[in-house]
Every structure is written in structure tokens, then in C-alpha cells.
Amino acid sequence: MARGPRFWLRWSWRDLRTRWPLVVAIGLLLAGGIGLAAGLASMRDWRIGSNDASFGALRVHDLRVEAEEGAYAPAGALERAASRIAGADGIAAATERLISPTQIDASAAGRTVITPGQIIGVETEPAREVDGVEVSGPSVDSIAIRDGRGLPARGDEPVGVLDPQYADENGIEAPARIRVAGGGTVAVSGLGNSPETFIVIGPGGSFSSEADFGTVFVPLAAAQRLTGRRDQVNDLAIALEPGADPERIAARLERRIGRELPGFAMSVTTTADIDGRRILYDDADNDQQLFDVFAFLILAGAAFGAFNLISRTVEAQRREIGIGMALGVERRRLAVRPLLLGLQIAIVGVALGVLVGMAVNAWLRGLLIDQLPLPFVDSDVRWGRFAARAAIGFAIPLLAAGWPVWRGLRVTPIEAIRVGFRTARGGGLAPLLARLPLPGGSLAQMPSRNVMRAPRRTLLTVLASAAVISVAVSMSGMLDSFRATVDRNDAEELRMAPDRLAVNLAGFMPADAPELRGLDDPAVAERTAGRLALPATLRSPGGEEIEVVVETAPAGTPIWSPRASAGSPPRGPREILIAASAATDLDVEPGGRLTLIHPERIGRDRFRTAATPVTVSGTHADPFRFPAFMSAAGAATLGLDGWINAIDLVPPRGVDEDAAKRALLTRPGVATIESASALGDALEQGLDEFAAVIRVVVAIAIVLVLLIAFNATAISSDERAREYATMFAYGVPVRTVLRMAVIESLIIGLLATAAGIGLGLLILSWVINVSLEEVLPELGIVGSLSFGTLVLAAIAGAGAMALAPLLTVRRLRRMDVPSTLRVVE
């Protein structure tokens, strides 16, 4: 028995030659798991790296003085105030801005584009270049130019830079001309964005889609002319010197501005308050958690599958191991051959896994560059993470081979050699089923008995498939949940008037202001109703705060009014109706007390921030967290009795949305016009892009399930060869044998589907209640699993499993029945 390693290697090589399809198939299964896990593992690093590079290169502000809606300061006043605080030497740069909502008409021949947007007037500096990208505009919160030219260093011409995402979505190329509210025109010289507009955030912090909300950067003086705010600003962006204390400077700045500009309601925010930045960073972390879960599940699926299949293959060698034991071969030598099989699979799995991983990496990098709204993308391959996944993938088949070898070597030689050892060794859990009065004859009973016969194998196959199916279910379920949320929002917003338009005014106006009279014209609107809508904060007695947009009930013909799903609508001046998710987050119930922190008008263009105790009258049915409603009497609480800044409008019959928007665009006082369902539409559009990623992952998951199913079936078919041959000897047709194999596989597939759906629901629940709750708490996502997702899971699980035996039909037809009947093992 003193054979050297060459003997075992030669034998193993022969094994490989006879078994290479199986080795490749299991290797592919592992490769899919390793590749996807490795590819997904780099996402966070890429995104954080890209975020750092982009925010850094454009010198994102450390502090920002942000005026409340309707508040303005004389140009230069904010910069002066900042320069006078104690410790002003901690300020490296400061730049004033004028940010104003507007309506953009970018229509051209064959294209109608009329959407809400914002004009950002900025001080301009000479352009510089960072990593081959032109950086233009102000010294803080600069603009990265993607196409065309940036803003001129000097001048006050209405030359602008347009958000590239908005331009791409609407087919706009630079140079172009766009019209803005009030009738002004901007010559778009280039496309570019700045740190605050990487993620499109609409007025009041609401979400908008890239197609439906445009940002145009223009020189400050041009913005002042376009918006009728000559020599006024409402924003100051500040970059601090390294080591400066932002909190201390912010506090001093707030006090200084309060003293120098009384009535200028504002807040000083930090980098951390930039919604888009928070989303980009939090999203990267939370998405990575999600990707890690998915990667783990896919790798677990591959591991279970590989373990199951290798175990079964090694068990098939058990008789040979027994013969070796009987001949006195040392156990460690007997272990070499099956372990070499594991090694072969490990090598194939990792080699192919590297290729799959590279492909997944390339795909994800392309997707990032395409989808991430960042001017600087860091997508270098993270070899460390890649290697870690590959190492796990390498270890799995070795462990998977080790376990059955260990078990095999514990059997006595006589047991291992015994004829029929494998087939007659036990009925597993089949006796349990034997006591159930199942219908049909012996042939009908056989598939379910076979499932129960080897419960450990069945369980491993079910777990492998279920892990992968759960990825498909949870990812698809995320789409379902977003869609269900949007549908519920649409159902609520469009409840009373499906074609309702929301018109945001250029500022606060008396409800009977002369410039609004024209909106009552029957040619413009069938019905109108004015209201207030302004951003505010709700604070619970425990100190928890959430941002909301408070709307007052319409004054005039009601086109839309909120309804309470719990409690009652607001009636008194200090009652508020909030979202159920807001009530949960603030830990308050109808009748409970909150503090509303809101701008309060104290004079023309003068506001202060006020804190008013309010009572929660009830909760509304909108799933989004930020809408909050007060009665018409609530306007007095906000210091805006008799004033409005938004109008609900129903276009005349026969006038479509675009025509209505065009007619309203030139009306004085009108800033933006959008459908009442714009927010839902924006989310829907965002989902379509997300859906592309999900579809690819789901497709990979289905391929993995197919591989698991095919491998399991191929090995089952080998193990059952003698049973099939016996059936053929008794004249059972191939189609009947095949049908039995399909039914057996289908039962396993159904079990895997049920387990996959259950596990997928758990993951979905975690995603919605933990992960998304952190990143997008404003949305109040409603958990949902559509019929389509269940069908997808059934196709991926039961369908793939049931189809797999059909791939063995050729082998069954060509079976050498006499030889198979005589071959003992």
C-alpha cells in the first residue's frame, strides 16, 4: 500500500475525466455565488470613494445659512455678518446665493418639457480643472461641468448651467435655451451639478425625479433679475479652515445674523444636513448591508448546493472506500481521492468565480458610472474583498468533501462493501408518509416517498434553493413595496380630482392678490383653491424631531382635502393631522401634544422661527411621512392668516396637463406647476432604474436555482439508476419515470419556494423596517409582495426544479438496462 502521491493524482485525474461535467456544474454554482458576492462586496467602497472624491473636489460647504421661505437679505449682508463673528479666521471662504423655485420650459421642436425647478444664482470664480473635469462657479459648492462650458467668471448675463440628469432625462443638449417662470430666458452653455444637487430634492425637501425637477445655475445678478429679487440673496455657503469648530462658528453666526438682520428667519445647517449627501452616504452603507445579506444568501445557496452534491458524489465512492479499508489501506490515504474531488471543484469554482466576479464587477461599475449622479467615480477593483470571498468559495467544497469522507471512514469495511448498502440502508422519513392515506398506486406514491427517503439531502437542496429564491423574492418585494406605496399615495392625492395640479407661487401672497385673479379665468382653470404649504419641524415631548411640510386646508372651493384614517381632521387653529408613520416615529397618538417649529411671518419678507404647541387631531392615509395638515384657521398660527403660497387647480375640460402648464407658466406669481401625483411619479421613475439592477440579480438567482436543480437531478438520476432500470425492466415507460422524477423535483421545488418566500419576507421586512427606515424615513414604505413576485418565486423555485429532470431524458432513453441492473453500486 505504499503508493505515492502520483498514484492518487493519476486516479483522481481519471475520476475528473469521467466526472468533469459534474465538477464543472458544481464549480459553476460556486462561481456564481463567489462572483456575485465578490462583485457586490465592493459597492460600498466604490460609492463612499466616489462620494468623497466628488464632495471634496467641489468643496462642499461646511456651514450654510439657509433662509426660511419668503425671507431675503440684502446682497453682501450675510457675507459681512459672517466676517464679523468672533473667530472669523476659521472661515476659509463664503459665497452668497439666491435660490428660488421656478418653472422651467425647455420645450423645443418635437419635445414638450415644462417642469418645476429651481434657479440657483451664484457668485462666479475662474474655472479650474480637477482630474480632467472643469470646475466652475463659486468657490464653495462649485459646479462640475460635464458637457459644454461653465459659468463665465465675470458677468451677469443670463447664461446658465443645467443639471445633467434633468437634461439627459428630457433630451436636452447644451447649448440650449430655456424659459423660466416670469418669462425670462436662460442660455444654457453647459451641463453640470454641484454637491447639493447630486440627488434631486424638490421644494421643501420633497423627492423629485431627475426628469421632473430641473436646477439651473446662473450668475447671481442674473438670478436676481430673473426672479425680480434685485440685490437680494437668501443663502450663504461657507467652507471652514481645517480644524475650525463648525458648531461654535454656526452658533456665533446665528447670533450675529439675528442681531444684524432682524426678521431674516433662517437656520444654519452643516454638511450633515444636506439631504442628498445623507442619502448618498447612508444609502451606500445600508445598500451594502443589503448586498451583504444577498451575497451571503447566494453564497450560502451555492455552499448548500455544493455541499449536498459533493456529499452525494463522495458517498457514491463509499463502497470503494470500504474495499480500500478491507485491503488495509490507511484511512488518510483513502481520504485523498474524495478530497481531491473537492479540491478540483474548489479550483474550478474559484477560477470561474473570478471570471464571473470580474464580469459582475464590470457590470456594477458600468451601472455605478451610469446611475451615480457624481462627477468623480472611484471604481477600482477591491482585490482584498474579492480575495476574501474567493477564499470562502475555495473552502466550501473542501469542507463539503471532508464531512462525507469523515463519515465514510467511520463505517466498517463490511458495511461499506455490502451490496445494496446505499439503496437499502433505510427509508428516511418515508415511513411517516406510509401512514398517510395518500391517493394512487405505488407509482403515484413513489415521488413523495423518495422526497422523504433522504430528508437530509432534501433539506440541503431545499435550503440551497430557498436561500437563492429569497434573494429574488426580497429584491422583487422591494419594488412591489415601493410601487404599493406610490399607489397608495396616488390613491390619496388624486382621490377627489384625478387631474389636479399643484401650483406653487413665487412667494406668500394675499389670497385676493390682484396677480392671482387671472387664475380664476375659466380658460385657465375650472376650479381653484388656495392654501399654504411650508416646511416645518415636529418635535415630540421626548425630543424626537421629524421634518414635515405643513399645508393648511384650502380656502375656497375644495378640490382636495385630507381625511383622517384615525382620529379626526384638524378643526381648531392648533390642531394638526399627521401621517401614521410620523405618529409612530414621534410616539404620539390622536389627542397627543407636539411642538411645531415653523416660520412665522412678522412683516413683509420678514419671518422668524416660532415653536407652537399643537394637538394631533388624527392620522391620515398617505403613506408618506412628511405631509401634515392644519385647518384653514391654522394659517393664523403661522402668522399667515389670509395669505397663500400654493393653489390647487383643476384644468378646464379638454385641456391636457401640458397645455394647462404652458398657460400658467407666464402668469404672474406662478413659480412651479406639477401634477398632484408628481412625487409618486418621481418615485415610480426612480424605481424603473432600480428595477434594472434587480432584474439582473433576480436573473442570476434563477440561473443559480437552475444549476442547483440540474445538479441535484443529475446526481439523483445516477443514484436511482438501478431503480429506473428495474422500472424499465417491468415495462414502465420512460415518460412515466420522467413524470415521477418531475413530481419529486416539483415537491422539493415547492418546499424551496415556500421556504424562499418565507425567508424573503423576513429580509423584506428587515429592509423596510430597519434599513429603509434609516435612509428614507420620509417615505413610510408599505411592505408588499405582489402576485407577480410570487409567480416569479414559483418559476424560480418550483418551475426550475420541475424542469431540471427533463434534462436527463436523453440519459434515461439511452440507459443500458441490463448493465445497470447488474451493476451493484
Partner 1 sequence: MPRPDRDGSEPLIDLRGVSRHYEIGGGTVKALDEVDLRVHPGEFVVILGASGSGKTTLLNVIGALDTPTAGSLLIGGREITGASRRELFALRRHEIGFIFQSFNLFPGLTALENVQFGADVAARPDPRAAARDVLERVGLGDRAPHFPHELSGGEQQRVAIARALAAGNPIVLADEPTGELDFATGVQILELLHDVTHTAGTAVLVVTHNREIARVADRIVELSSGGIVADEPNVPAAMSDLRW
Angle, helices 383-410 vs 318-326, to 10°: value is 60
User: Is the Cβ of residue 105 or residue 825 nearer to partner 1 in the bound state?
Assistant: 825
Q: Does 436 bind partner 1 (CB under 8 A)?
A: no
Nearer to partner 1, 688 or 816 (CB): 816
Q: Which is nearer to partner 1, 424 or 523 (CB)?
A: 424
Pattern 387-426, binding to partner 1, x per CB under 8 A? --------------------------------xx--xxxx
Alpha-carbon distance 569 to 616, whole Å?
Answer: 9
Nearer of residues 453 and 620 to partner 1, judged by Cβ: 453
Q: Closest approach of Cβ 807 to partner 1, in Å?
A: 21
Nearer to partner 1, 426 or 758 (CB): 426
DSSP letter string, 264-286:
--EEEEEGGG-HHHHHHHHHHHH
Q: How far apart (Å, rounded) are the C-alpha atoms in residues 329 and 327?
A: 6
Strand 266-270 to strand 63-67: parallel, antiparallel, or no bridges (unpaired)? antiparallel
Nearer to partner 1, 420 or 514 (CB): 420
Nearest residue (CB) to partner 1, 386 versus 724: 724
* Of 263 and 427, CB closest to partner 1: 427
Q: Are 672 and 460 in contact (CB under 8 A)?
A: no
Q: Which is nearer to partner 1, 387 or 824 (CB)?
A: 824
Q: Does position 455 bind partner 1 by CB under 8 A?
A: no
Q: Toward partner 1, which CB reaches closer, 251 or 414? A: 414
H-helix or E-strand spanning residue 240 = strand 235-240
Query: Which of 2, 109, 436, 442: binder of partner 1 (CB under 8 A)?
Result: 442
Q: Which three cell numbers stand for residue 182?
A: 416670469
213 binds partner 1 (CB under 8 A): no
Nearest-approach distance from CB 737 to partner 1, in angstroms: 11
Distances (CA, A) of 466 to 290, 536, 793: 17, 46, 10
Contact segment (CB under 8 A) with partner 1 among 279-287, 493-501, 768-776, 815-823 equals: 815-823
Query: Which residue, 791 or 823, is less far from partner 1 as judged by CB?
Result: 823
Cell 470562502 sits on residue? 392
Q: Which residues pair with 628 in a beta bridge?
A: 550
Work out whether 608 is an interface residue with partner 1 (CB under 8 A).
Answer: no
Residues in contact with partner 1, shown as a per-residue x/- string from 763 to 802 under the rule CB under 8 A = ----------------------------------------
What is the spatial distance between Cα 537 and Cα 204, in angstroms, rounded to a whole number? 11
Closest CB 825 distance from partner 1, rounded Å: 10
| Smallest distance from partner 1 to CB 305, Å | 23
Shortest distance (Å) from residue 806 CB to partner 1:
19
Nine-digit cell at 804?
431540471
- Its sign, for the CA torsion 185, 190, 196, 200, is positive
CA-CA distance, 22 to 172, in Å (whole number)?
53
H or E element in which residue 465 lies: helix 455-493
Total site size for partner 1, rule CB under 8 A = 36
Residue 550 β-bridge partners:
534, 628
Contact between 488 and 624 under an 8 Å Cβ cutoff? The reply is: no
For 30, the enclosing helix (H) or strand (E) is: helix 5-41
- Which are the contacts of 669, defined by CB distance < 8 A and separation ≥ 6? 505, 506, 509, 513, 515, 516
- Minimum Å gap between C-beta 733 and partner 1 is 5
Which C-beta is closer to partner 1: that of 243 or that of 441?
Answer: 441
Closer residue to partner 1 in complex, CB, 166/728: 728
- The least distance separating partner 1 from the CB of residue 727, rounded to whole angstroms, comes to 8
Task: Report the nearest approach of partner 1 to the CB of residue 424 (Å).
Answer: 5
Stretch that binds partner 1, among 75-83, 282-290, 440-448, 519-527 (CB under 8 A): 440-448
Cβ proximity to partner 1, 350 vs 721, nearer residue: 721
Which residue from 237, 374, 446, 614 is in contact with partner 1, where contact means CB under 8 A? Answer: 446
Provide, rounded to whole angstroms, the least separation between the CB of residue 14 and partner 1.
19
Applying CB under 8 A, among 53, 347, 659, 817 the residue interacting with partner 1 is: 817
Beta-bridged to residue 616, according to DSSP, are: 576
> Site mask, partner 1, residues 23-62, x = CB under 8 A?
----------------------------------------
> In angstroms, what is the minimal distance from the CB of 328 to partner 1?
25
CB of 17 to partner 1, least distance (A): 19
Does residue 824 bind partner 1 (CB under 8 A)?
yes
Q: Contact region for partner 1 (CB under 8 A) — 71-79, 350-358, 434-442, 643-651? A: 434-442
Residue 150 CB-density burial (10 A; 0-12 exposed, 13-18 middle, 19+ buried): buried
Q: What is the spatial distance between Cα 181 and Cα 195, in angstroms, rounded to a whole number?
A: 25
Phi, psi of 111 (to 5 degrees): -145, 130
CB of 322 to partner 1, least distance (A): 16
DSSP H helices in 573-677: 580-586, 634-637, 657-665
Cell numbers at 807, concatenated:
434534462
- One character per residue 613-652, x = contact with partner 1 (rule: CB under 8 A): ----------------------------------------
For position 76 contacting partner 1 by CB under 8 A, the verdict is no
Identify the CA nearest to 481 among candidates 102, 78, 776: 776
User: Which cell goes with 735?
Assistant: 415518460
Please pick, from the candidates 186, 430, 751, 785, the single residue that binds partner 1 as defined by CB under 8 A: 430
Q: Which of 337, 453, 608, 667 binds partner 1 (CB under 8 A)?
A: 453
The answer to whether residue 318 forms part of the interface with partner 1 (CB under 8 A) is no
What are the helix (H) ranges across 261-379? 275-316, 318-326, 331-371
CA distance 725 to 711: 21
Q: What is the DSSP string of 386-447?
A: HHHHHHHHHHHHHHHHHHHHHHHHHS-HHHHHSTTTTTTS--TTHHHHHTS--SS-HHHHHH
Neighbours of 701 (CB within 10 A): 30
**Cell numbers describing residue 51:** 462620494
Q: Which of residues 715-744 bind partner 1 (CB under 8 A)?
A: 722-723, 725-733
* 809 binds partner 1, rule: CB under 8 A: no
Nearest-approach distance from CB 338 to partner 1, in angstroms = 24
Residues that bind partner 1 (CB under 8 A): 419-420, 423-428, 430-431, 434, 441-443, 445-446, 449-450, 452-453, 722-723, 725-733, 817-818, 821-822, 824
